[in-house]
Amino acid sequence: MKIKFLIIFFLSTVIPTEKSRDNDGVTLGSWEIKNGIFIENNDEETNIARYNWNIFYNMFPKRITQRYIKKLVLMTDGEDEKTGALGALNDKNNEWQLVLDPIDVDFTSKDETRISQSIYTLVHEFGHLLTLNHTQIKPVKKTKQEKGDPYVTIEGTAIKDSYINKFVDEFWDGGLLKEWDYIQRNFCVTEQKSCLEKLYGLYKDNYTDFLTDYAAESPEEDIAESWTAFVLGEKIKNPQTIAEKKINFFYQFEELVYYRKVIRKNIRKYQ
């Protein structure tokens, strides 16, 4: 069975430093970011990289982007495949690289759908930055999720009062997290096709719990997808499903409500 997620992002901790081709596509170049300032280099794609960085930097709260984003990478695997990523540059979770596919993230396009998808990608990746940085995740590596313990991520162990730990406690408790962990350990380590099939099955069995099928890939993607719906959509007045409750989850945090207001104001020029 062929599996294609509705919206595809990718998370990578690989740090490309030159133009190369691998299983993820072609790396077009990488650029340093210092305190939010794009550092020029001689890569051919510097102009489009600068353009995309300026959009990202002006779309989101500058204090956060200045603090964490230290590198921008452009990579492409063709149209409508992997659109963007956020990866840690160190084991402290305090320096990150933003990866974008300029074919998919294209704010020069005349296609309204392409613009909407570009906005969606950037908001989603910023959601990862909010929920996985060092104020949210301790870089303490664990190999197994124990019952009652804070949520364990690739980056480390969630702080008890972090966004993602509260999110997992509320929406991934019990059998769902256990089933997801079983799929990760028994299918996702060895073979991608079987992994995707099992994760899609998890979504189908719990489809009212997730806003998109991609959200079922992990709690990290689920909270990023829910964050994106929170930013771009409206509050659900009478939530009926777990998926709808996930959108309203973020309204309990005053700072996130403020970020939402800032971001929505900044994206109006592109809509």
Can you say how many angstroms the Cα of residue 4 is from the centroid of all Cα atoms in its chain? 18
| pTM, entire model | 0.89
Give the integer Cα–Cα distance in Å for 68 and 128. 12
Structural element, H or E, at residue 175: helix 175-183
Give the integer Cα–Cα distance in Å for 98 and 112. 24
Give the integer Cα–Cα distance in Å for 227 and 220. 11
For residue range 43-102, what is the model confidence (pLDDT) as tens digits?
889 999 999 999 999 999 999 999 999 999 999 987 767 889 999 999 899 999 999 999
Q: Hey, where are the domains in the chain?
A: 20-132, 138-270
- Whether 15 has a pLDDT exceeding 70, the answer reads no
202's tokens = 């998890």
Reported confidence tier of residue 145, pLDDT bands at 50, 70, 90? confident
Structural element, H or E, at residue 258: helix 254-267
Helix and strand numbers, DSSP H then E, in the chain:
9, 8
Structural element, H or E, at residue 171: helix 163-171
* Model pLDDT, residue 256: 98
For residue range 167-181, what is the model confidence (pLDDT) as tens digits?
999 999 878 999 998
Task: Give the percent of the chain with pLDDT over 70.
Answer: 90
Q: From the options 3.30.70, 3.30.2010, 3.40.50, 1.10.10, give the CATH code of 20-132.
A: 3.30.2010
Cβ atoms of residues 61 and 123 within 8 Å: no
CA nearest neighbour of 158 among 150, 169, 166: 150
Give the integer Cα–Cα distance in Å for 219 and 242. 14
- Whether 163 has a pLDDT exceeding 80, the answer reads yes
* Model pLDDT, residue 21: 31
Task: Give the percent of the chain with pLDDT over 90.
Answer: 74
> What φ, ψ does residue 21 adopt, rounded to 5°?
-120, 130
For residue range 17-51, what is the model confidence (pLDDT) as tens digits?
333 333 457 899 999 999 999 999 988 899 999 99
* Model pLDDT, residue 24: 58
For residue range 248-257, what is the model confidence (pLDDT) as tens digits?
999 999 999 9
* Model pLDDT, residue 219: 96
* Model pLDDT, residue 130: 97
Give the integer Cα–Cα distance in Å for 144 and 87. 21
Give the integer Cα–Cα distance in Å for 114 and 197. 28
- Whether 116 has a pLDDT exceeding 80, the answer reads yes
Give the integer Cα–Cα distance in Å for 215 and 252. 21
When the pLDDT of each residue in the chain is averaged and rounded to a whole number, the result is: 88
Q: What is the mean pLDDT of residues 128-142?
A: 91
